Structure 1
Amino acid sequence: MAGRCVRLSLRDVDALITALMLPLMLMLVFIYFFGGAIDTGTRYVNYVVPGILVLCAAFGAAGTAVRVSEDMKGGIVDRFRAMDIGGTSLLAGHVAASALRNLCATALVLGVGLLIGFRPSATLAGWLAAACVLLLFVTAVSWLSAAVGLLAKTPEAASGFTFVMMFLPYPSSAFVRVDTMPTWLHGFAEHQPVTPLIETLRGLLHDQPVGSAPWVALAWCSGLLAVAMVLSGVLFRARTS
């Protein structure tokens, strides 16, 4: 199932290019257009790259919703069920392919970030911890996207979830410090899922204290993953019964 989903991704060249290039373009826009006007107390490229990595992961993982919806609409699920292939295998294949796509996109963003001045000082343990946290986030969002794809009636409707996930890093600490935002926005920006994730990645990649941020990020990701997997199973049975 994972191999099938990877082959489908490679055939959808337009979507693949968008998933790879959009985070890169956003990173370049923020660094070169706005970076000189934003004071974060450090070089802006070092501040913004962890946020871009999370935005890249969220946008890429959210595309799973469209691919699951296409499967449900195209009738291939009925053929799989006739071969005694369960919903868990089908959805897990989409999630595994999402993780692989995000690995490529993250490596590309990180590589370009290094070329334009991103200078992390993480230890090997810090790199491994950052990779594990980001992978957990991708897995959680991919399963949540699978649930959205099962809930949506058409792939076009499912695609709206990608815009929701792409917007979520903006009211967070991804691009500017939360304390520079309007007061009424502080509560949401500080307590939404991606803020502790970004702070965790930023601290790990720059070998700085991270406080309680990793535990909060892990709690968010684990909770989302558990809810999304249960919800996906319920929705798949409802759609195929």
Structure 2
Amino acid sequence: MSTRSHSAVMLRRNFKHVARNPTSVFNAVLMPIVMMVMFVYMLGDAFSVGVDYVDYATPGLMLMAVCYGLGAVATAVNSDLTKGIINRFKVMDVSRGAVLTGHVVASVLTNLIAIAALVAVAFLLGFSPSAGLFDWLGVVGLVVLLGLAAGWFTVALGLAAKSPETAGLASVPLVMLPFFSSAIVPAEKMGPGLREFAEYQPFTPVIETLRGLLAGAPSAGDAIAAVAWCVGIALVGYLWARAKFSKRA
């Protein structure tokens, strides 16, 4: 079988594992919807952001939807490694790249499903984007790029961890980081120190680019920064993952 065929087999395997794990499904798909209902429906009137809060919050919650499933990815990768499953694949002459790529692509597909469900709920809560066709294509493209970046970095974290439990914990900072961005409230409304951190951390330009695309008025500066961050994180994650895989597998 070719590397592409191996990758397809690994993708099918990993996606089935996610679908059969209720905790993974809840964290990846249902938890973002719970956050949407909590922030928009329950707390939305408490925030003053200049626009309908559902329109402001949806891009940030889309990014959160990418992050919430990362713990399961790190745990799954580490379990494959520590339980000897990857060594079995090596005996079967399965491509090394296919093993890692299967986890990453499965996480991206899960992200797309989660975000589609999230956006559907957002429309029920009054979401009214001004995005045109090309804006929506830009949203999808950026979400996929972000998913690949987060996926490769999380796979590397999973390979670097010593156990599935520590692998899951290693992804917690990535889950928490969106809360210290412009996802929930504008960075300029935050206190000193936190405001500067929110402005210059990698998730804020991604959120602002999504926000601009959905409003039909994307910012070139935010878009360039968002793509640069995603490509940089993806490259670091990929190289780190390959190095750890070669060392430990």
Shorter-chain TM-score above 0.5: yes
8 A Cα contact 2:41 2:125, kept in partner: no
Q: Secondary structure at the match of 2:59?
A: helix
- Report the equivalent of 2:148: 139
SS state of the match for residue 93, structure 2?
A: coil
Pick aligned residue for 2:169 from 160, 176, 191: 160
How far apart in 2 are the matches of 1:160 and 1:61? 10
1:11-26 superposed matches below 5 A = 11-26=20-35
Percent of residue pairs bearing the same amino acid type: 38
Quick one: which amino acid aligns to residue 117 of structure 2? L
| Residue 223 of structure 1 pairs with residue 218 of structure 2 | no
- 8 A contact 1:62–1:165 mirrored in 2: no
Cα distance in 1 between the residues matched to 2:159 and 2:196: 32
Task: Give the counterpart of 1:120 among 123, 129, 134.
Answer: 129
The reply to whether residue 177 of structure 1 matches residue 186 of structure 2 is yes
Q: In the alignment, residue 151 of structure 2 is paired with which amino acid? A: S
Superposed, which structure 2 residues align to 1:37-186 within 5 Å?
Answer: 37-186=46-195
Q: Which amino acid aligns with 2:98?
A: S
Query: How far apart in 2 are the matches of 1:61 and 1:140?
Result: 11
Describe the superposition over 1:109-159 as per-residue Cα deviations: whole angstroms up to 9, x where unpaired.
010001111111100000001110111000010000000010111111111
Contact residue 62 and residue 142 of structure 1 kept, 8 A: no
- TM-score for both structures, normalised by structure 1: 0.96
Partner of 2:214: 205
Hey, what does 1:195 align to over in structure 2? 204
Contact kept in structure 1, 2:71 and 2:169, CA below 8 Å? no
Runs of 4+ in 1 over 3 A off after TM superposition: none
Q: Matched residues in 2 for 1:228 and 1:15: separation? A: 22
Deviations 1:145-191 (A, max 9, x none): 00001011111111113321221111111010111100111221001
Give the Å deviation of 1:236: 0.4
Paired with 1:182 and 1:8, the residues of 2 have a C-alpha distance of 42
Alignment of 1:235 with 2:214, yes or no, is: no
The gaps in structure 1 that reach 5 residues or longer are: none
Matched-pair contact (CA < 8 Å) for 2:31–2:68: no
Measured on the aligned residues, the alpha-carbon RMSD in Å equals 1.1
Equivalent-residue separation in structure 2 for 1:225 and 1:100 (angstroms): 16
Q: 1:62 Cα shift?
A: 4.6
Which amino acid is 2:36 matched to?
A: M
Output the CA distance in 1 between the equivalents of 2:170 and 2:128: 33
| Preserved CA contact (<8 Å) 1:59 1:162 | no
Q: Quick check: 1:31–1:45 contact (8 Å CA) kept in 2?
A: yes
Residues in 2 aligned to 1:150 and 1:162: alpha-carbon distance in whole angstroms: 12
TM-score normalized by structure 2? 0.93
State how many pairs are aligned: 240
Q: Deviations over 1:44-68 (max 9, x none)?
A: 0100011000000122245311110
